[in-house]
Amino acid sequence: MTEPLLFEKRDDGVAIVSTNDDPLNRMTLDYVDRLGEVVDEIAADDSIRAFVITADGTTNFSVGMNLKQLPEGMKRAGSVDAFFDQRLDLISRIETMGKPSIATLFGYCLGGGLELPLGCTFRLAAEEGAKIGLPEMDLGSTPAWGGSARLAKLIGRTKALDMILRAKTLSGPEALELGVVSEVWPLAELKDRAIALAAELARQPRLAVKGVLDALHDSEHRTVEELLAGERAAVHLTNGTADAREGMMAFLEKRDPVFNQE
């Protein structure tokens, strides 16, 4: 039986998670179950400091859930709500892990194929061929994996409604213009760029990265006072650490710091 996803742990603090269902890369029931296990493994492993969520091949990131499996999924979970709660919890765990995550968007990135990346720290899109959207309206339904909420937070209510109600798909450059993604690259370079970004983030001081990610989580809906409290918590988290000492010594010695040696 084919593994639903591929998991690679590199020596540079980066892990790569790839959907293994080329060319459609559907988010099957087995894929979601295995992704949950892998996310827990990444969260528990201090040697993994950043990770990339991508897909095998270069045709599509993901066409979303295999809709034919919906009845079986609800049966396994016990109810409609339990089924969707499993997916909401999974994306939330990625979002709040305290480790940077980078998603690559290429080809079809539809439904869950956009909702999963919306829970990642950064999204990079292909310059050509990407079709990014939440097309559930065309199926007589609505996003169910947190897509409407996260998209509205990311680009604003009006733009999110325009995408969702009209079942619009965006190209990579259009997604960059709206703020859905942070970078656009030629498809041939996209995965390498995502891995390079993850490696760059993995070289940053681990606890400081976690502190900033925690401090700014859901920043759009928190007061300045709450954000300042989060910032102070990050300061206390990093105060006196080996990385803080290394950063100060590197500054005084006029050299590049080397973090995460403890």
115 noted as active-site residue: yes
| Apex 86 CA angle, 110 and 6, nearest 5 | 60
Q: Tokens in use for 107? A: 């080809």
Which amino acid is residue 237, in one-letter code?
A: L
What are residue 58's phi and psi, to 5 degrees?
-130, 20
- Residues 6 or more apart whose CB falls under 8 angstroms from that of 133 comprise 109, 110, 114, 163, 167, 168, 169, 170
As beta bridge partners, residue 110 has: 133
Check 37, 136, 174, 226 and give the catalytic one: 136
Check 37, 41, 115, 225 and give the catalytic one: 115
Q: Tokens in use for 119? A: 């829970």
- Name the residue with tokens 């998991």: 7
3-state secondary structure of 124: strand
Q: Tokens in use for 204? A: 């940053």
What are residue 20's phi and psi, to 5 degrees?
-115, 60
CA distance 259 to 262: 8
Q: Tokens in use for 135? A: 């097309």
136 noted as active-site residue: yes
Q: Which residues are catalytic?
A: 115, 136
